[in-house]
């Protein structure tokens, strides 16, 4: 009998629709305005007594608190509205001081039973949720310069191994390294060694002013490799740092040759975000200087935990933090905290080469931060403020080398488990391979985001309502069935977007509006075909079957070409274009399912298996 789906097919369609409704449901629960608390360092933990004191302070200041939660080492305070959230932020920041990060955020309210099934709401982009946007510039010349310093240390160690005496190793203005010798034969031996060990470089000899030089030049390919690595390492490190903020769907991506875009939806506190993201720090491993070392080859640095205490280190850098591939906080056999380090192959080779003759000496982990301060200068008779960069170096750890170190070793002598955990986290997250500077920053307020959401929802409602009215008036019963399918299409679209953890932006809402029109377009083609078949004299049941069957090819061709265009937009576009492409792609797939399969099921349930003489179409 025509126009009848078997029971299993009807049940399968109903299961798909039920799952769609289930995974779309979390979007009915709006986020709470919240404040997230975390320690600026591992030594400053957020615990229950601290959260209780914070609640007491807020209540004393007349701020209504919805709830307070403690999750591991961070705290979450929920509020009923944004005004209370903003007022509480200033109060908490003043009460806790600079040792804690107080960040504005939005907290999910999805019921536990939905969350346990993996259901969650769609993530909102910066333009809908509000938040902060940073454009960062990576100092690629500094990355090349730092790598040159590493190579200089390597060359010194290599020449010492072969007992080839040199006078100096200098970095020239053109970016080359010049190794100075007093004897030509020693220079020639060094030239042979360096050409063999550093085949990726252009190693040449040079005579000038009675001295003999080996000149090491970086090739263009090597420079590009160093710059690419620095940018990729910075991207990875920034993503790790952003994850510590607990931001929903942050965006950290490369822009152009040397810039990185960071977007943090839901965070309005630019200062707190900059403090965590902008830690433009690197790590250096150096040996402690021996008492016999000349002052020209040593430097003194304070300890990070004890600024009044200093240690003298060698200038030569063994390795930097970008050679660390993994780090874990553990305890030794005596229950003392330590950090287990794993280096990459290059780092392991350099560490073994250096520590082979340094057993029982102490090695320091130096924390190097690139900062900037505001200074006042007089330019053309006017007093102006300028940001001046500077470097701050502090010792994190100074421990004794017990044996020759390779790819894996341990750092001991740490001041408690807190310092051990912090050092492991810092090493594991990775140091920045090159300094970064804030080129642009802007804040999108939550009120603007709410206005965008309101306007976007209104546009969807108006477009949806007009389509429903047109279909009901023009196609009568068939139009009403198409309207039911169109509603289910929106539910499925939201469900799929939520399951994919896709970010909804303002262009994404435009994609939803377009999807509504495209979804009903398929029904219009089917219904128009049914009317043609009726006009050609086919009986109603045959006309329904022919309408759905013969219109399928046209619908498929139209949708597949649009889907290909959406895929190209996603592959080639960035930011808002990607958001539009994702929504459009998902909408095309769900609309074909609802317009063809779901509508056919509804029509079958209404007319299928009956002796129908006339169709309300």
What is the spatial distance between Cα 21 and Cα 33, in angstroms, rounded to a whole number?
26
Report pLDDT for 427: 67
What does the mean pLDDT of the chain come to?
A: 83
- Does one domain contain both 463 and 412? no
pLDDT for residue 230 is more than 80: yes
E-strand ranges in 186-309 read 201-208, 211-218, 251-255, 259-265, 281-287, 298-302
- Does one domain contain both 421 and 505? no
How many other CB atoms are there within 10 angstroms of residue 460's CB atom?
A: 17
3-class DSSP string for 491-559: HHHHHHHHHCCCEECHHHHHHHHHHHHHHHHHHHHHHHHHHHHHHCCCCHHHHHHHHHHHHHHHHHHHH
- Does one domain contain both 521 and 581? yes
Q: List, as one string, the DSSP characters of 547-602.
A: HHHHHHHHHHHHHHHHHHHHHHHHHH--THHHHHHHHHHHHHHHHHIIIIIIHHHH
**Token pair of 568, please?**
């190209």
Instruction: Summarize pLDDT for 343-374 with one digit per residue, the tens.
Output: 888 888 888 888 888 888 999 988 887 666 76
Residue where a domain stops, chosen among 372, 403, 431? 431
Residues forming a β-bridge with 606: none
CA–CA distances in Å: residue 85 to residues 65, 329, 435: 9, 36, 34
Instruction: Summarize pLDDT for 538-592 with one digit per residue, the tens.
Output: 888 888 888 888 888 888 888 898 899 889 988 887 667 877 888 889 999 999 9
Residue where a domain stops, chosen among 431, 464, 499? 431
**Token pair of 497, please?**
């977007």
- Does one domain contain both 457 and 577? yes
What is the spatial distance between Cα 383 and Cα 90, in angstroms, rounded to a whole number?
32
- The answer as to whether 246 is a domain residue is no
What is the spatial distance between Cα 431 and Cα 236, in angstroms, rounded to a whole number?
9
Report pLDDT for 571: 83
- The answer as to whether 587 is a domain residue is yes
Report pLDDT for 311: 93
Instruction: Summarize pLDDT for 435-490 with one digit per residue, the tens.
Output: 787 788 776 665 666 777 788 888 888 888 888 898 889 888 998 999 999 999 99
- Does one domain contain both 86 and 188? no
- The answer as to whether 13 is a domain residue is yes
Report pLDDT for 593: 92
- Does one domain contain both 384 and 514? no
- Does one domain contain both 518 and 601? yes
CA–CA distances in Å: residue 414 to residues 373, 422, 425, 472: 31, 11, 14, 74
Return the SS3 of 332: coil
What is the spatial distance between Cα 259 and Cα 358, in angstroms, rounded to a whole number?
40
pLDDT top residue among 241 and 55: 55
pLDDT top residue among 198 and 590: 590
What is the spatial distance between Cα 491 and Cα 521, in angstroms, rounded to a whole number?
18
**Token pair of 476, please?**
């009568």
Report pLDDT for 613: 80
How many other CB atoms are there within 10 angstroms of residue 601's CB atom?
A: 21
**Token pair of 128, please?**
């809908």
Per-residue b or e along 107-124, where b marks 16 or more CB atoms closer than 10 Å to that residue's CB: beebeeebeeeebbbbbb
Instruction: Summarize pLDDT for 44-97 with one digit per residue, the tens.
Output: 678 888 888 899 999 998 999 999 988 777 888 999 887 888 788 888 888 887
Query: 546 and 517 in contact (C-beta within 8 Å)?
Result: no
Q: What is the CATH number of the domain that holds 595?
A: 1.20.1640.10
Residues forming a β-bridge with 205: 214
Q: What is the CATH number of the domain that holds 190?
A: 3.30.1360
pLDDT band at residue 280, thresholds of 50, 70 and 90? low
- The answer as to whether 251 is a domain residue is no
pTM score above 0.75 = no
Instruction: Summarize pLDDT for 31-45 with one digit per residue, the tens.
Output: 888 888 877 655 567
Report pLDDT for 301: 94
- Does one domain contain both 515 and 542? yes
The phi, psi pair for 85, rounded to 5°, reads -60, -50
- The answer as to whether 235 is a domain residue is no
- Does one domain contain both 19 and 46? no
- Does one domain contain both 378 and 286? yes
- Does one domain contain both 345 and 424? yes
pLDDT top residue among 385 and 222: 222
| 533-537-539 Cα angle (round to 5) | 80
Instruction: Summarize pLDDT for 115-133 with one digit per residue, the tens.
Output: 888 888 887 777 777 778 8
Instruction: Summarize pLDDT for 477-528 with one digit per residue, the tens.
Output: 998 999 999 999 999 999 999 998 777 888 888 888 888 877 888 888 899 8
Instruction: Summarize pLDDT for 15-32 with one digit per residue, the tens.
Output: 999 999 999 999 998 888
Domain limits at 449? 7-26+445-607
Query: 549 and 532 in contact (C-beta within 8 Å)?
Result: no
- Does one domain contain both 500 and 457? yes
Q: Give the total number of structural domains in the chain.
A: 4
Report pLDDT for 488: 93
- The answer as to whether 269 is a domain residue is no
Of all helices (H) and strands (E), which one includes residue 57?
A: helix 48-60
Q: What is the CATH number of the domain that holds 100?
A: 3.30.70.260
pLDDT for residue 251 is more than 90: no
- The answer as to whether 530 is a domain residue is yes
Report pLDDT for 336: 79
pLDDT band at residue 308, thresholds of 50, 70 and 90? confident
Handedness of CA 602, 603, 604, 605 (dihedral sign): positive
pLDDT for residue 244 is more than 60: no
Residue where a domain stops, chosen among 107, 132, 164? 107
- The answer as to whether 242 is a domain residue is no
Q: What is the CATH number of the domain that holds 413?
A: 3.30.1360.200
Mean pLDDT of 216-222: 85
Nearest CA-CA partner of 119 in 110, 128, 129 = 110
Which residue stretches of 396-505 are H helix?
A: 416-429, 446-499
């Amino acid at each position: 009998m025509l126009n009848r789906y078997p029971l299993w097919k009807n049940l399968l369609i109903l299961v798909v629709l039920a799952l769609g409704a289930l995974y779309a449901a979390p979007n009915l629960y709006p986020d709470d305005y919240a404040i997230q608390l975390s320690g600026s360092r591992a030594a400053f933990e957020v615990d229950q007594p601290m959260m209780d004191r914070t609640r007491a302070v807020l209540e004393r200041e007349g701020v209504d608190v919805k709830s307070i939660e403690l999750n591991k080492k961070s705290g979450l305070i929920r509020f009923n509205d944004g005004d209370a959230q903003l007022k509480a932020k200033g109060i908490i920041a003043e009460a806790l001081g600079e040792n804690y990060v107080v960040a504005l955020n939005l907290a999910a309210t999805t019921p536990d039973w939905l969350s346990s099934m993996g259901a969650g709401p769609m993530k909102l982009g910066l333009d809908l949720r509000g938040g902060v946007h940073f454009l960062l510039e990576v100092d690629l010349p500094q990355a090349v310069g730092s790598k040159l310093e590493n190579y200089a240390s390597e060359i010194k160690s290599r020449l010492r191994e072969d007992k080839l005496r040199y006078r100096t190793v200098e970095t020239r203005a053109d970016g080359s390294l010049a190794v100075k010798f007093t004897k030509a034969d020693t220079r020639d031996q060094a030239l042979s060694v360096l050409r063999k060990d550093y085949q990726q470089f252009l190693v040449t000899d040079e005579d000038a002013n009675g001295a003999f030089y080996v000149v090491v030049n970086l090739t263009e390919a090597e420079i590009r490799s160093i710059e690419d690595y620095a940018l990729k390492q910075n991207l990875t490190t920034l993503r790790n740092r952003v994850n510590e903020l607990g931001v929903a769907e942050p965006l950290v991506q490369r822009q152009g040759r040397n810039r990185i875009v960071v977007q943090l939806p839901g965070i309005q506190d630019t200062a707190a975000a900059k403090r965590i993201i902008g830690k433009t720090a690197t790590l250096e491993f150096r040996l402690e200087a021996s008492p016999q070392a000349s002052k020209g080859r040593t430097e003194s640095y304070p300890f990070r935990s004890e600024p009044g205490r200093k240690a003298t280190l060698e200038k030569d850098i063994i390795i930097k933090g970008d050679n660390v591939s993994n780090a874990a906080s553990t305890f030794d056999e005596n229950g003392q905290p330590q950090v287990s380090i794993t280096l990459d192959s290059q780092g392991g080779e350099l560490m073994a080469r250096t520590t082979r003759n340094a057993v029982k000496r102490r090695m320091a982990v130096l924390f190097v931060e690139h900062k900037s301060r505001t200074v006042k200068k007089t330019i053309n008779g006017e007093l102006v403020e300028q940001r001046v960069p500077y470097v701050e170096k502090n010792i994190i750890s100074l421990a004794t080398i017990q044996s020759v170190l390779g790819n894996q070793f341990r750092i001991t002598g740490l001041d408690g488990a807190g310092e051990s955990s912090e050092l492991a986290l810092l090493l594991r997250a990775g140091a920045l391979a090159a300094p970064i500077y804030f080129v642009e920053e802007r804040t999108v307020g939550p009120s603007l985001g709410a206005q965008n959401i309101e306007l976007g929802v209104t546009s969807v409602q108006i477009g949806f309502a007009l389509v429903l009215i047109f279909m009901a008036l023009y196609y009568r019963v068939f139009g009403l069935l198409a309207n039911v399918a169109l509603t289910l299409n929106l539910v499925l679209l939201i469900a799929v977007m939520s399951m994919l953890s896709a970010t909804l932006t303002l262009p994404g809402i435009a994609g939803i509006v377009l999807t509504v029109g495209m979804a009903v377009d398929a029904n219009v083609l089917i219904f128009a075909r049914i009317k043609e078949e009726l006009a050609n004299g086919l009986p109603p049941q045959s006309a329904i079957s022919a309408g759905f069957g013969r219109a399928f090819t046209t619908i498929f061709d139209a949708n597949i070409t649009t889907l290909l265009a959406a895929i190209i937009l996603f592959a080639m576009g960035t930011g808002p274009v990607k958001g539009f492409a994702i929504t459009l792609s998902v909408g095309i797939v769900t609309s074909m399912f609802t317009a063809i399969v779901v509508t056919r099921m509804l029509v079958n349930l209404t007319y299928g298996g009956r002796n129908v003489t006339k169709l309300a179409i």
